[in-house]
Structure 1
Amino acid sequence: MRKKVILAYSGGLDTTTIIPWLKNTYDYDVIAVCVDVGQGTELEGLEERALSSGASKLIIEDVTDEFVEDFVWPALKADAVYEKKYLLGTSLARPLIAKVLVKYAELEGADAICHGATGKGNDQVRFELTIGALAPQLKIIAPWRIWDIKSREDAMDYCILHDIKVPMTVSNSYSRDKNILHMSHEGLELEDPSLEPQYKKLLQMTTPIEDTPDEFEIVDLEFIEGIPTKLNGIAMSGRELLSELNIIGGRHGIGVVDLIENRIVGMKSRGIYETPGGSILYKAHEELEHMCLDRQTFGFKQQAAVKFAELAYNGEWYTPLREALTAFVNETQKTVTGTVQVKLYKGNIILTGVASPYSLYNAEIASFTTGDLYDHKDAEGFIHLFGLPLKVRALMRLSREEKGE
């Protein structure tokens, strides 16, 4: 009986090439598994492509709701942003995809899991850390670390040699990843940081700035314990809300990021990220936290957010530290409930109003008008004590100068 391998299948050039390579190299029965995390139209025609490439069958599992609820929302609540720019669109999806691959490896009795991540990329780490955490007994096959194919052009030639139709041309062979949170682009002219991206050719979720409307659009969001629940007064599921917000943000050119980032494996790479809906949610959520969190909690949470983002980026989702940080974040979100209104205009997200029943903003204290809760005279004693170390140091310096030291 032929051994089975589960292939993480997207239908792109790499995984299309991998199917015949696995059969020719290992004589495996290749079971292609496509994990739907909101790719949309990318799934059209996938079964025909997989079977014609030599897979014994294609399994498609839609886990978009789980992706939003159990991965995107925790990152949003944590305010997790990698290197101040990247909202972790690909990073958050990889552990869930790997989890589903493990599930089908067990159901199908497969000996191995194969992925199409390159030997220079982050995804190999993310996939393999998750597989190792959930099913350490499974063999992992990473063709880009084994085969003689050295480029995307080589992969196209391999497919042509084996009479397999490839899903793109050399001139448009960007390395892309799409899910309900974002779309990423790498390769071609983007590999030269001195070149401006060809946005009109490149962008797929977002309108180029010069083509956006000349009128602004108002968006109202409601959060309950850090999770967005209503868009413009309408209650929605996470999937519905993020999908609709992608459309709204996309037409106003929101959330396009050009980033030279530090990969896990030690090199820098350049990527263009489109995250229209996510960018709006992060902005609105942060503004609500400014109102609802005390100074110490907000300050420490900013530090935790950096670590949370690093763990997610590195594929360390199923780790005790990430779980502990999520527990901390959830505790902070108990009062992050309220409404936020923003104005969208030519790539900008402009806050126009925020309100919460848990607001720590007190107009009686903050106002320039003297109220009962704050006496201006109290500030004198506070400043004296707060600045006492500075005065002691200054007095010491004066004393030493007087002694000629």
Structure 2
Amino acid sequence: MQFLQNSRRIAKVLKPIVTTETNLRFFSSASQISSSFQWRNQSSASSSVLKGIDRCSHSSSMSLLIPRSSFSSEAEKLAGNPTVTVKDLHDKMLNSVNVKRSMPPNAWLWSLIENCQNQDDIHLLFDVLQNLRRFRLSNLRIHDNFNCNLCQQVAKTCVRVGAIDSGKKALWKHNVHGLTPSVSSAHHLLSHALEHKNSELMEEVMQLLKTNDLPLQPGTADLVFRICHDTDKWDLLAKYSKKFSKAGVKLRKTTFDVWMEFAAKRGDTESLWKVDKQRSETYSQHTLSTAFSCAKGFLLESKPEEAAAVIQIICQAYPDEKKSAVSAEFEKLVNEWPVDVIKHQTEEDKKALAASLKSVIPSMVNALLSSGLNVNVDLDELNKNEALLS
């Protein structure tokens, strides 16, 4: 009797445990129950399983092929058609960091940069930089990027071989190549834009400077103003002049030269005098270029005597050995400037301005001669100027 009571007591204790284990066994073995059910329906299940295996096999094949295709295309991209020297240096440096686990000599990297000749060489250069950065970080525990000098040389090399898009990467603050962006690197790209009169590239570079928090410098303004002048983009110059002013950049004398010459070329005397006022706040004396720009402004306002006075002052300040520069400015004023300024006028104003210049320029020359200044100007060329005859 006591035995039965103990048995019942034990059964009550074990009942929940058995139930729990059964439930767990049910949930964990659902796939086994499904397999058992399929086994009882062997004839239909066999076909389904074979199809499933075929699908899995096809899927596995595709998943293996996709990465291979990606790696293959990347290898082809790097291979391309590089020069032999660059390819050899690239392979030696990768072997050093990836196989020998040692930092290659700096001379190899500088030699690779110097020998780059095309876009494929640049691809290999950037691949080396990325591997070097990774090695420095993981093996040498160096978290700093490469110095600015290297970044400048990379940008300069990209420009030299015409890989402009790659050169823009040298301005990225966050990059995988360990490059340290700088304004000096941007100047290489801006110099290329100036040489090729590419205002669109200039705007892209200026946007990169802003995005990557690189400070504007006087040299930047000099290049930007020249590009705007050479591409005849006055509105663009006005836009960036405000940005440089807001950034507190002190403009160079050469920058004011370009700015005032552009205003005089457009016949915009209002802007010309504003720029000259801004110039006088920084520089007390005129350069030869700004003086002649002011003279052109007075000629546009039909004031030949004032124009002559400005030129006389600057000519007296110039030493004899630089008188050839004065003669060159006179020649531009008589032969080139009238054509440029008339071109920028409306059809209604062109004839009136041509008649005015044909009158005031000789008056200015006569005023200079009367003051005793030896002016070597051929006024016959002025009378033959087609812009003034139209």
**TM-score relative to the length of structure 2:** 0.21
Larger radius of gyration: 2
| Structure richer in helix, relative to its length | 2
| Structure richer in strand, relative to its length | 1
